Amino acid sequence: MRKEQKNVLRLVYSAICLALCMVLPFLTGQIPQIGQMLSPMHIPVFLCGFMCGWPWGLAVGFIAPLLRGAVFGIPVLVPGGISMAFELATYGLIAGILYRVFPKKLPYIYLTLVIGMISGRIVWGIVRFIVSGVTQSEFTFEMFMAGALINAIPGIILHLVLIPVIVQAMQKAKLIVND
């Protein structure tokens, strides 16, 4: 496949992932606590990183929460949307880089996903801490642990179950253009 064809595919896949970021939260949005726990926007961002590579995953991850916040008002841009933009950008970045570097086998897909989740949540905490300093709002270590881990356990489980299966299906269908 020519470079131009790959770039068109990356653009199309990225647009689909961005559209999924806009739509998926509506499935859980009726009960905000469930939506926050399942983190539906994270799924297409990780998939974009795996499928298209780090620049595309980073861009979709950064744009998605800001665009969704601007269009639908959720997430609220300050402090949540800004922090989430850096978190999701990190997910797309790490997924794209590590998928390209590691062997394309299931254990490495899981390793990529776990490293991405940990990195993204650390970045979220750092940005949230900085934003809270600028806005003079409170953000404690307990709030970080609750947001990054305790309240996120259902989403973490969902992502660990769903994303590797989808990535493997995309591999078999030869839909991945991260090279």
Lowest model confidence (mean pLDDT) among 14-28, 32-46, 69-83: 32-46
Residues in the chain: 179
On the question of pLDDT at 1 being above 70, the answer is yes
Class of domain 3-172: mainly alpha
Sequence-ordered list of residues with C-beta below 8 angstroms from that of 35, at least 6 positions apart, any chain: 25, 28, 29
Question: Per-domain residue ranges for the chain?
Answer: 3-172
C-beta separation of 67 from 32 below 8 A: no
Provide the b/e sequence for 116-129 (b: ≥16 CB within 10 Å): bbebbbebbbebbb
Question: What DSSP state is assigned to residue 31?
Answer: S
Q: How confident is the model at residue 150 (pLDDT cuts 50, 70, 90)?
A: confident
CA 165 to CA 171: how far, in whole Å? 10
Q: Which residue has the higher pLDDT, 76 or 67?
A: 67
C-beta separation of 126 from 77 below 8 A: no
In this prediction the pTM is 0.94
By C-alpha distance, which of 133, 128, 168 is closest to 148?
A: 128
Angle at alpha carbon of residue 166, lines to 121 and 93, rounded to 5°: 35
Cβ-based neighbour number of residue 45 at 10 Å: 33
Q: How confident is the model at residue 137 (pLDDT cuts 50, 70, 90)?
A: confident
Q: What is the dihedral of CA 97, 39, 25, 86, to 10 degrees?
A: -50
* Residue 100 confidence (pLDDT): 97
On the question of pLDDT at 17 being above 70, the answer is yes
Calculate what percentage of the chain has a pLDDT beyond 90.
75
C-beta separation of 93 from 40 below 8 A: no
